[in-house]
Amino acid sequence: MQEFLQYLFSGITNGAIYAVIAIGFSMLYRSTDLINFAHGEFVMIGAMTMVTLTVAVQVPVMPAFIITVVGVSILGLVFERMAIRTVRRPEPIVLIIITVGASIFLRGLGMLVWGKDSHTMPAFTAHPPLDIAGARLLAQSIWIVAIAIAVAACLHLFYKRTLTGKAMHACAINKQAAWLVGIPSKLMTLLAFGLSTGMGAVAGVIIAPITMPAYDMGSMLGLKGFCAAMLGGLGSLWGSVLGGFLLGILEALGVGFVSSGLKDATAFLLLLLVLYFRPGGLISAVKVKRF
């Protein structure tokens, strides 16, 4: 039981990170039908920026958190204006190739700015690990899960209770109809990019203290976040949360009780099973794509 709890705590922690990354994928897809394969690099930039601010510049954690999320969100807005909106024929395959190219560019930029070495930063709080039935739960893990749930809840209220959120919802259903009633669809798309990359920054910030951030960390995290989004239902907020936690727990249990070589393979195996048996994810594709 002690061993099982330890793996479970690890899985929940990783699952919360995957959930936040998956939310970023789903938020953009629900508003634009675009899958941003550079999303993982925004996670990397968030983590490396947080390390720089807290370790090198000695900025307190909370201001550094806010500065990082806002800064990466602005970078996402610039990316949409310069790389996406300027495309003459915005066909899906063209946009996907652009995001893949942006991923390679941002990874190279990260290597030039922060180097090839890994970096470290202290946890948000110096509280000692909690002992639960012999298993140890890090204080940073509690922060990660709490922030992931809070982010999902705030986004849910944003989409359901605010006019801007409802406008983004309307654009997701029918952009032309939304434009006819006065909703600026291009502005909503720009906002979707900002929110999506902001979610990537949040994931990078919360993962920075428990891992060793490096310039090449974004690719695998992005792919696992995409797998989590597909598992829960691409475009669904709570489906992404469910998919993230499920992926994290199954990955941890597979590593602990089967083989450590399954850590990265678990995500892609689940993705293949979902695409084969239930392409819409755990939540129906009809509900996911058109609310």
Q: For position 22, what pLDDT does the model report? A: 94
Where residue 122 falls (left for φ over 0; alpha for ψ -120 to 50; beta otherwise) is: beta
The residue-averaged pLDDT of 3-8 equals 90
284, pLDDT greater than 80:
no
Q: What is the mean pLDDT of residues 97-120?
A: 94
Residue 9 has pLDDT above 50, yes or no: yes
pLDDT tens column, 233-242 = 888 889 999 9
Mean pLDDT of 254-283: 81
pLDDT at 158 over 60: yes
- Nearest 5°: CA angle at 69, between 67 and 73? 115
Alpha-carbon distances, residue 236 vs 152, 244, 254, 284 (angstroms): 11, 12, 26, 9
What pTM was computed for the model?
A: 0.92
Task: Return the pLDDT at 148.
Answer: 94
Quick one: DSSP state of residue 117?
A: S
> Which residue, 38, 41, 18, 22, is CA-closest to 30?
22
Instruction: Please compute the mean of the pLDDT values over residues 58-68 and round it to a whole number.
Output: 95
33 or 56, which is more confident = 56
What is the set of domains in the chain, with CATH numbers? Answer: 2-289 (1.10.3470)
- Judged against a pLDDT cut of 60, whether residue 286 lies above it is answered with no
Query: Could you read off the pLDDT of 218-228 as tens digits, one per residue?
Result: 999 999 999 99
Q: Provide Rg for the chain, Cα atoms.
A: 19
